[in-house]
Amino acid sequence: MRFPRSAGVLVHPTSFPSPFGLGDLGPSAKVFLDFLYDTQHTIWQVLPLGPTGYGYSPYASYSAFAGNPYLISPEILQQKGLLTQKELSAHSLSSTMEADYERGFKVRDDLYKIAEQRFFEKTDAKTKKLWEAFLKDNRSWLNDFVLFMACGKAHGFIPWNQWESGLAKRSVDSLEKVKKQYETEIRYQTWLQFEFFQQWSSLKAYANSLGIRVIGDIPIFVDHNSADVWANPSYFEVDKAGNRVKVAGVPPDYFSETGQLWGNPLYRWKVLEKANYDWWVERFRQMFTLFDAIRVDHFRGFDAYWEVPASEKTAENGKWVKGPGSKLFKTILKELGELPILAEDLGFVTASVEALRDEFAFPGMKILQFAFDSDATNAFLPHNFPQNSVVYTGTHDNDTSIGWYTTAPEVEKHRVRVYTRSDGSEIQWELIRLGMLSVADQAIIPLQDYMNLGGEHRMNFPGTIGGNWIWRYTPEMLSSVNRDRIRQLIELGNRRSEG
């Protein structure tokens, strides 16, 4: 589908201000949406909202379907009568520009357990009906997920293939045993998912009421230590004991002599095809319920993916294997109808990847920070954009625009100054202007660039462990954004909302 000419902001909920260690779906989220409305934006783009595992990365989740319970707002729970103001005050933390996941998780766990107990004590007929509808509508994944989380918690979240054999292999007797053994934890995990989806649904409805579309994110691969692989091992490249056999990565290139070994188990696409891609259909169904559109990460992997034996230490000894291609998307289109998808088509993109993207008219991505490392034929320069594309100054994997310019080679600095006819002193605004005035249907700006922030405020350093996903802003930082300047650029670029 074609998207309207529009502008948006990229920021993840964990970056919102909050007195509970990390941002969530509470009052600060609505303040941010009001900012979008006031500045004529009509898009909010987020990273994946699944429950995070090791390293707190949104791209390493315990589930492709579930929500991150730590995005549940304690303040909304208080508004619902499930917590008291005294309890909130006793568990509040000082708000900083870095997420404190360890302390945040602890205080939230304490509050959530109090709220869950009161929920089941106070449930009225209307809420009970919502609860039952939630259980019914999400039965395809929910029961396996909450059981996985209960078992994972009991085992210290070691990989599920290291659990006792019967449970790892999902024998009927073992499953029945743990369902009874962990009954209390299973109910708690189910309530967390119910509350997450209640809060997210309400927030998305508020965004939509302001004329704002929410763009989500689907990582193509799932984590090995996830409910998805444990519950559906036949769909993934794992052996009978659950050990990975073939894993994902990318081959050696200019950036890495040994490539990148991601370690996610690859899909058994032939098995999935025989099942009419049912797991993928349900995954997209879920995402289209949660979001108005979806960015599909590593889109090229659907055309061909880099397969590496799990025994390898690097990604060097892999090979390209043909992916499901258009068969998958035709099936999803048939089952679900219109596909509001954005294709993350960065990196090594072949003609067949472009053909797959264009067959379904998925817009690709254009990153302005990539535009100045070569000559005028560079595909990331605005004069080379196709209209059906999404332009970013940078993404969550890039530096802020100020950080990028500060550390860029002098030849790139020179090119961007010549291209923008500027001295580079406000490079973030020069790139924002390029994006807004470009032919690309959608222009999405990381919030850090509107805030004039340097590289110390970037969200992620790809290929590194630790120190990622922690950036947050303060209420004062949002208040200080030059809203008039944004509105002028959106008006000039004909990206103004109709509201």
Residue 411: count other Cβ atoms within 10 Å of its Cβ: 10
List active site positions. 297, 344, 397
Exposed e or buried b for every residue in 338-371, given b needs 16+ CB within 10 A? ebbbbbbbbeebeeebeebbeeeebbbbbbbbbb
Q: Is 213 helix (H, G, I), strand (E, B) or coil?
A: strand
Say how many residues make up the chain. 499
Residue 435 φ/ψ, nearest 5 degrees: -65, -45
Q: What is the CA radius of gyration of the chain?
A: 23
Exposed e or buried b for every residue in 442-462, given b needs 16+ CB within 10 A? bbbbbbbbbbbbbbebbbbee
Three-state secondary structure readout of 420-470: HCCCCCCHHHHHHHHHHHCCCCEEEEEHHHHCCCCHHHCCCCCCCCCCCCC
Structure-block tokens of residue 212: 């704002």
CA distance 363 to 295: 10
- Name every residue whose Cβ is closer than 8 Å to that of residue 186 and which is 6 or more positions away in sequence: 146, 147, 150, 179
Please report which residue ranges of 326-375 form alpha helices under DSSP H. 326-336, 351-359
Which CB contacts under 8 angstroms, 24+ apart, belong to 111-115? 111/20, 111/74, 111/77, 111/83, 111/87, 112/69, 112/72, 112/74, 112/77, 112/188, 112/192, 113/188, 114/82, 114/83, 114/87, 115/74, 115/77, 115/82, 115/83, 115/195
CA distance 192 to 63: 14
